[in-house]
Amino acid sequence: MLDLSEQYHSMRGEVLETIDNVLSSSQYILGDHAKKLEDDLAHYSHTAYGIGVGNGSDALHIALQAAGIKEGDEVITVPFTFFATAGSIARAGAAPVFVDIDPATFNMDAAKIEQAVTDKTKAIMPVHLYGQMADMKEIMDIAQKYNLIVIEDAAQAIGAEYYGKKPGELGTAAAYSFFPTKNLGAYGDGGMIVTSDRALAEKSRILRVHGSKPKYFHHILGYNSRLDELQAAILNVKFKKLNEFNSMRRAHASYYTEHLNELSPHYVKTPIEKEGNYHVYHQYTLRVEHRDELQSYLKEKGIDSMVYYPIPLHVQPVFKSLGYQEGDFPEAEKAAKEVLSLPIYPELAEEDLTYIVKTMKEFYHSKS
Ligand SMILES: *Cc1c(COP(=O)(O)O)cnc(C)c1O
């Protein structure tokens, strides 16, 4: 599904050099490399501040808390996403309130948000799933109308654009993840909040160091969640290539789409790029007929594929107390049964793409 070693070998010299530089500096947590990455990613996101934290989940959680979200509040989000989206809301003490997804993009259906707003609603957390940003204009209009905070889950969308705007630029803040498989991946965990809200940035910086400010004075309860210096240094090397890697992903995606569109849309529906969007294809995700059978067939032929995500969050046992049940979000539930993601990492070779397309076609020709 993903070969990370090839990328390492393509930049091995520079990575080893920067690792040696950090190890020799004896500054291992929040040093100059972390500061540089914070500045660069804030700038890249057209925002004023970057706050490096331990992982993407903490970036979401800390951003929510820094924005004032607390127990008793409600935060509107989607059930079709990685667990950490709703997990971070619950960890901040608030209740996740789900709205269904738009079947065309798998992102939050903005037309469904308003009916979920109550007098407890404090924030919206859209997810830019698979690398395509959610409908931020519609979301921001509703947020403005009801005076809501917007924290964007941009873990899968670093480099994506929505009418020229980056994650964190329209919303109150956005959270990035540097989990190794993400478009900008570390060799371990890491995450970052980007925002132009000065107070949110300041409070996030305090929360990541046990709520300490000044040092050893604690007015609020925080965490130990910092971006470590080694990961930041490695990310500074990789960041220089991010745009290039994203365009390679996009090239693979157009190859897949062009060739898989030769199959009947009854069997395979290729991803849709919505107008105004620069999709960075963290995943290349299809809707397919006979999904599980196709996945086994591909596996037999030596091709990995993945289901992101097989179980929507509203039916996860841990969220039972929220009171949702099967049937509440039909589009999320349908997507969970139909989606399949194909390999899309930048270094994927042309012959791999050709082989994957050929094998997909073989499978569906045997069906018709
Ligand atoms: C990866 C991911 C996260 C969490 O990031 P971690 O760095 O793994 O904590 C959150 N939301 C989404 C949508 C993700 O894909």
Ligand 1 in reach of 177 Cβ (< 6 A): yes
CATH architecture of 242-367: Alpha-Beta Complex (3.90)
Ligand 1 in reach of 308 Cβ (< 6 A): no
Section 326-349 average pLDDT = 97
For residue 343, the 8-state DSSP code is P
Report whether pLDDT(342) > 90: yes
Return the residue whose CA atom lies nearest to atom 5 of ligand 1: 56
314: pLDDT confidence band, cut at 50, 70 and 90?
A: very high
Ligand 1 in reach of 84 Cβ (< 6 A): yes
d(CA 80, CA 323): 17
238-255 confidence digits (pLDDT tens)? 999 999 999 999 999 999
State the pLDDT at residue 368.
Answer: 82
Residue (of 24, 240, 62) closest to 32 by Cα position: 24
153: pLDDT confidence band, cut at 50, 70 and 90?
A: very high
Q: Which of 122, 165, 182, 203 is catalytic?
A: 182
Section 167-173 average pLDDT = 98
- Ligand 1: which of 88, 129, 153, 226 to mutate, judged by most atoms within 8 Å of the beta carbon? 153
Return the residue whose CA atom lies nearest to atom 14 of ligand 1: 155
187: pLDDT confidence band, cut at 50, 70 and 90?
A: very high
Q: Where are the domains of the chain?
A: 5-239, 242-367
State the pLDDT at residue 271.
Answer: 98
State the pLDDT at residue 3.
Answer: 85
State the pLDDT at residue 341.
Answer: 98
Residue spans of beta strands (DSSP E) within the chain: 49-53, 74-77, 95-98, 121-124, 149-153, 161-162, 173-177, 191-195, 268-269, 277-278, 284-288, 339-342
At residue 114, what is the residue type?
E
d(CA 305, CA 254): 18
Question: Two tokens at 15?
Answer: 């990575």
Ligand 1 in reach of 324 Cβ (< 6 A): no
The top-level CATH class assigned to 5-239 is alpha beta
Active-site annotation holds for 182: yes
